[in-house]
Amino acid sequence: MKNYREYISRLVILFIGLTIAHLGVTLFLLSDLGADPFNVLIQGLRQQSENAGWNLTHGTVHMAVSFLIILILLIVDRHYVKAGTLICMFCGGPIIDFFSWLLQSLNIGGAGLPVKIPVLVLGCVILAFGMTVVIRSEAGTGPNDLVAVVISEKSGIRFGITRVATDALFVLIGFLLGGKVGIGTIICAFLVGVVADFFMPRSASLVRGILSKLAGKE
């Protein structure tokens, strides 16, 4: 029963982290300065699918790539694929929709660069913090974040460095395939990993503290 309660607690922590992360994603999107690195890759793949005569939506391509990542991990090392991975896959979109509705009155997209860039940077910082909470919950991680997590753990290279490298690779491949790159894309690619490196040990301590307090109440 104790392990069951801890597992549920970890899933709740994951969902809180996911919500925080997607608040950051929403601020990033509302700044309207370019897509995030992974979505530049999705844009490029969608462009190539259109060139091949396939009428696929952005969401369809995103889901297909996510499932492909999960499939590869199930073959390579299935312990990375957990219930939280599916929660991240299916709940991210609705959370972004909710925050977009909540913040639409701010009209961030109609503001100038002196407003947009700070909002974008704030979004990246919030995204990085939420992402590290999700990772440290150890209940699962979204497919696109798992790429950096797996490479980091398998290679022994710090997560921040790995995240910057994978984001830069997503941008490069996406751009070559026809995805659109903006100043926000570049800022996101080189900022999120660095900030995540700062938050990673702090998020680990935060999660341990929450679980310890919950265990003490049993």
Q: Give tens-digit pLDDT for 55-79.
A: 877 778 888 888 899 899 888 888 8
Q: Quote the pLDDT of residue 161.
A: 94
- Which of 13-17, 80-84, 92-96, 208-212 is the least confident region? 92-96
Token pair, residue 81, equals 């694929």
17 vs 64, 100, 130, 204, CA distance in Å?
24, 18, 4, 12
How do the domains of the chain map onto residue ranges? Answer: 2-216
Token pair, residue 107, equals 């009209």
Q: Taking residues 27-42, what's their average pLDDT?
A: 88
The residue ranking higher by pLDDT, 22 or 35, is: 22
The residue ranking higher by pLDDT, 132 or 2, is: 132
Helix (H, G, I), strand (E, B) or coil at 149: helix
Helix (H, G, I), strand (E, B) or coil at 182: coil
The answer, yes or no, to whether residue 89 has pLDDT greater than 50, is yes
Question: What is the Cα–Cα distance from 179 to 185, expressed in whole angstroms?
Answer: 11
Q: What percent of the chain has pLDDT over 90?
A: 53
Q: Taking residues 125-140, what's their average pLDDT?
A: 95
The chain-wide mean pLDDT, for the chain, equals: 90
Q: Quote the pLDDT of residue 9.
A: 92
